[in-house]
Amino acid sequence: MNRRPRVFSGMQPTGGLHIGNYLGALKSWVELQDDYDCIYCVVDYHAITIEHDPRDLQARIELVARGYLAAGVDPERSALFVQSAVPEHTELAWVFSSLTPIGLLGRMTQFKDKSKDHEDNVNAGLLTYPILQAADIAIYKSEAVPVGEDQQQHLEFARDVVRKFNLRYGGLFPEPRTILSSAPKVLGLDGERKMSKSLGNDIGLEESADEVWRKLAPAKTDPARVRRTDPGDPEKCNLYRYHRCFSSEQTLQWAAAGCRSAGIGCLDCKRKLHQHMEEQLAPLRERLLDLQAHPDRVREILAAGAARLRPIAQQTMAEVRDRLGIPRWPTT
């Protein structure tokens, strides 16, 4: 029987998910379930490359898993699990590290950015992060990876490393293609940098309607609109980009025309945006709360996902060891 093409993606449990994660990746994860065999992972080993509190890690893993489920990842159709529950990921990463020139890793944009943000902790895990990510994808022989724009370079790296493996040891892995959503780079409320958990410029999926409004109200718009009567350019307004993701065509036209003519003020436009955001975010928030009240349900889903995937990962590792000439040692 022909299997459906396989998709893999993951997010780090470094905090609660935000609308950048949701619009940039999660929404397309949900849509892809119709046509692909989807595997979605909480990548906890990636999250320890920056300092973390071990006492919080499990709670953060479950928080991210709840985000996936609340957004519409359906455990009946997709496998959902935690990276560390399938240790073959890290085993394959070691193999890939032997195919990776160090210089290439040092040129990765994310490594450079994170080295600046965590100057006192520039560790080898931060440098080799893309190798583990390539292994996460390849261990399931995944064909496609839905991610935000910031991950494109890492996926180029993943294609590169599996190509090298295939050339040296014989074709085993597909070269995974990138699937970008219609909002591949959501800027933070500062309107300057990518929305990020660690930069604090985000709107969290679990934040209440009031909390979201308290963040939207002072958020930057087109700098030309100093006074209510100053006309503006919606294309220069970060919040108009949010409108594009949440609002109807009619609202978009209303906002663009009102901004250009100064017929509406930024606050009117933000109120309307808030209303449209709530239409999508309120039901999601409700599902998050329901899942929080049933932690066993989430843990069972994660355990079932790992149980389904581990044999696939073990099979791939057996093939990898054969290609490398590593003998099958008796274990008893």
The H helix count followed by the E strand count for the chain is: 14, 5
Edge-first strand order for the sheet with 177-180 is 79-82, 37-42, 6-11, 144-147, 177-180
Amino acid letter, residue 78: S
Select which of 194, 215, 220, 236 is catalytic.
Answer: 194
Among 8, 14, 108, 135, binds ligand AQP (CB under 6 A): 14
The tokens describing 104, both together, are 């290439």
Structure tokens at 299: 């843990």
**Residue closer to ligand AQP (CB basis): 151 or 316:** 151
Residue type, position 169, single letter: Y
CB of 324 to ligand AQP, least distance (A): 29
User: Does 147 help bind ligand AQP (rule: CB under 6 A)?
Assistant: yes
- Cα–Cα distance, 100 to 156 (Å, whole number): 13
The residue annotated as part of the active site, out of 27, 197, 270, 272, is 197
Q: How many residues does the chain have?
A: 332
State yes or no: residue 28 binds ligand AQP (CB under 6 A): no
- Residue closer to ligand AQP (CB basis): 219 or 320: 219
Which tokens is 40 given? Answer: 């979605």
Single out the residue of 24, 75, 130, 234 in contact with ligand AQP (rule: CB under 6 A).
24
Q: Contact with ligand AQP (CB under 6 A): which of 151, 178, 247, 316? A: 151
Amino acid making up residue 223: P
For residue 22, what are its two tokens? 């949701």
In angstroms, the CA 48 to CA 54 distance is 9
- Beta partners for 38? 7
* Contact status: 189 vs ligand AQP (CB under 6 A): no
Q: Does 256 bind ligand AQP (CB under 6 A)?
A: no
Place of tokens 């490594």: 111
Does 186 participate in binding ligand AQP (rule CB under 6 A)? yes
Q: Is 21 in the site for ligand AQP (CB under 6 A)?
A: yes
Cα–Cα distance measured from residue 12 to residue 255, given in angstroms and rounded to the nearest whole number: 35
Does 161 help bind ligand AQP (rule: CB under 6 A)? Answer: no
| Contact pick of 118, 185, 236, 241 for ligand AQP (by CB under 6 A) | 185
41 binds ligand AQP (CB under 6 A): no
Q: Which two three-digit tokens encode residue 222?
A: 């087109």
Closer residue to ligand AQP (CB): 183 or 309:
183
Please identify which residue in 6, 7, 20, 39 interacts with ligand AQP, judged by CB under 6 A.
Answer: 20
> Minimum distance from CB of 259 to ligand AQP (Å)?
23
Asked if 148 is part of the footprint of ligand AQP (rule: CB under 6 A), the reply reads: yes
The 83-102 contact track toward ligand AQP, x by CB under 6 A, reads --------------------
Tell me what percent of the chain is helix, strand and coil, each rounded to the nearest 5. 60, 10, 35
- Establish whether 194 is a catalytic residue: yes
CA distances to 15, 188, 261 from 47, rounded to whole Å, are 10, 21, 47
Q: Which of 27, 114, 141, 272 is catalytic?
A: 114
Residues near ligand AQP (CB under 6 A) are 11-12, 14, 20-21, 24-25, 147-148, 150-151, 184-186, 194-198
